[in-house]
Structure 1
Amino acid sequence: MSSASTLNPQSTELFPFTDQSLVIAGRTFSSRLMTGTGKYPSLEVMQQSIVASGCEIVTVAVRRVQTKAPGHEGLAEAIDWGKIWMLPNTAGCKTAEEAVRVARLGREMAKLLGQEDNNFIKLEVIPDAKYLLPDPIGTLEAAQQLVKEGFAVLPYINADPLLARHLEDAGCVTVMPLGSPIGSGMGIRNIDNIRIIVEQAQIPVVVDAGIGTPSEAAAAMELGADALLINSAIALAQNPVFMAEAMGQATRAGRLAYLAGRIPCKAYASASSPLTGTIV
């Protein structure tokens, strides 16, 4: 999905191309980092972290907001939805049917908070409470139904290139392969599969889950991912606001590195300065 181009503010003649904005379901975003709302020590820290990250999309767990779960009281009202695009998610759903019902609630929640035209849904179908790995069959079934109902579906999946293709064919607007299990902070453990997904996809690829450090965020973007979704690594950092800013910068740096194109790896050294004309 990603298109190669080069940024150089000093010389538009030598480097005339600029990075294209992230476009999802016809909506344009300048930031390629999405963040979440869970696990922060307070609403104030969450608000400051969102601003520091520079993100424009924030995901919200529909069920936790609806039920006012601990840590989610007042969450919906704490964010300026005139500036931030809401991405409702179906976290906590174990079946396709449950996810479809919660997605409908999420769309209504977005409307009540002023985003009348918001039909985005981050689809999560996770029956396993220990490893929190998404159910591929349930995810595909729910995605097919939600697309029929007019949702812009952003499905959270294992890094499975064939499943990603099926979801794209079903009409999803992104695919969101995990780097490693949710909240694990283990980084990108599925590099080869994510690379294949990026190569094949004609829709944005968003790496979601497992990123623990800014260097891992940059590495994910260097693979050619179009965007990242990061929550735990920011919210559970010793200083979430600093980490949010670092993740935002790393996302941009990784994107630029991908567009720039790294040098080839070699098995031997190559001098930076030419050896011809040296003084003996």
Structure 2
Amino acid sequence: MRDTLRIYGQEFNSRLLIGSALYPSPKCMQEAILASESEIVTVSLRRQNSQAAGDDFWQLIKDTGLTVLPNTAGCHSVQEVMTLAQMCREVFATDWIKLELIGDDYNLQPDPVALLEAAEQLLAEGFKVLPYCTDDLVICQRLAALGCEVIMPWAAPIGTGKGILNPYALQSIRERLPHVTLIVDAGLGVPSHACQAMELGADAVLLNSAIAGANDPVLMARAFANATLAGRQSYMAGPMAVKSTAVPSTPTLGMPVWHQFNE
């Protein structure tokens, strides 16, 4: 059986999702996206108006051949989310929507109360919702109970690059929601962070700033692709048990024992 990522019934070989913002140039964006080997790219209709930006940006996205995941970045209310989601469905011809609903402008933390309300309304209108949330287990459980098949908890506040601030929280979400597709989104800064997220049992990671903000985005995209794969393979292989005392790697059983005799 192939080890594929499943998102609302669709299967993907890559477990790295990539964003399309903040790159030095459209050409660099396209090259980095292709280098990441990702099969899903996130786009923001609010931040990238298709008419104002011209056709070039959208053509570059289309030329990658990737599945487009629109998001509701920049929304602060349920009504804003619903309006933008409807626009995204029309423009991108997809029911997929990455739900972002910010409650605090300082650390860009999602509003947990409004997030649940927006998710419920979007699901009722036929959207396939991928909610961006904090690593709060109860919020994740309630999103899953509403019908979200994918949940996207942060590792750290978006754009900080701090890595996973609370490994226990992410591991708890994985263990308590084993059938939900878990995508760690936001706060990953270097490839080792992505590897750690995958080793904790995440099904995938989503990145933007860590790649787009690197000195060499294309090379960094390759590094994250390798780290994501390594983390997944490590999780599937099963790590060795952690011990509190040293254990020799070379067995002593069957080895000759030299005795010193006093004459």
TM-score by length of 2: 0.93
Deviation at 1:65, TM superposition (A): 1.9
Matched pairs, number: 256
Deviation at 1:267, TM superposition (A): 1.5
Deviations 1:11-35 (A, max 9, x none): xxxxxxx552111111111111000
Deviations 1:126-166 (A, max 9, x none): 13222101001111111000001110000000101111111
TM-score by length of 1: 0.87
Q: Which residue of structure 1 lines up, in the alignment, with residue 181 of structure 2?
A: 204
**Maintained 8 Å contact 1:63/1:91:** yes
Deviation at 1:178, TM superposition (A): 0.3
Q: Which residue of structure 2 lines up, in the alignment, with residue 94 of structure 1?
A: 76
User: Equivalent of 1:106, from 76, 88, 91?
Assistant: 88
Deviation at 1:69, TM superposition (A): 7.2
Distance (Å, rounded) in 1 between the aligned partners of 2:118 and 2:52 = 25
User: Equivalent of 2:116, from 140, 149, 158?
Assistant: 140
Distance (Å, rounded) in 2 between the aligned partners of 1:219 and 1:69 = 39
Any stretches of 5+ residues in structure 2 without a counterpart? 259-263
Confirm or deny that 1:48 pairs with 2:34. no
Confirm or deny that 1:150 pairs with 2:133. no
**Maintained 8 Å contact 1:93/1:127:** no
Deviation at 1:197, TM superposition (A): 0.9
Any residues of structure 2 matched to 1:1-280 within 5 Å, and which? 18-66=1-49, 74-80=56-62, 83-111=65-93, 118-201=94-177, 202-279=179-256, 280=258
Distance (Å, rounded) in 2 between the aligned partners of 1:19 and 1:276 = 40
Deviation at 1:278, TM superposition (A): 2.8
Deviation at 1:233, TM superposition (A): 0.4
**Maintained 8 Å contact 1:65/1:76:** no
1:176 maps to a residue whose letter is: M
1:153 maps to a residue whose letter is: V
Deviation at 1:196, TM superposition (A): 1.1
Instruction: Give the % identical residues.
Output: 45
Q: Which residue of structure 2 lines up, in the alignment, with residue 10 of structure 1?
A: none
Q: Helix, strand or coil: the match of 1:74? A: helix
Distance (Å, rounded) in 1 between the aligned partners of 2:92 and 2:189 = 29
Q: CA RMSD for the aligned pairs? A: 1.7
Question: Compared with structure 1, are the counterparts of its residues 240 and 212 closer, same or farther at alpha carbon in structure 2 (3 Å cutoff)?
Answer: same
Distance (Å, rounded) in 1 between the aligned partners of 2:8 and 2:172 = 22
Which 4+ runs in 1 deviate beyond 6 A?
67-70
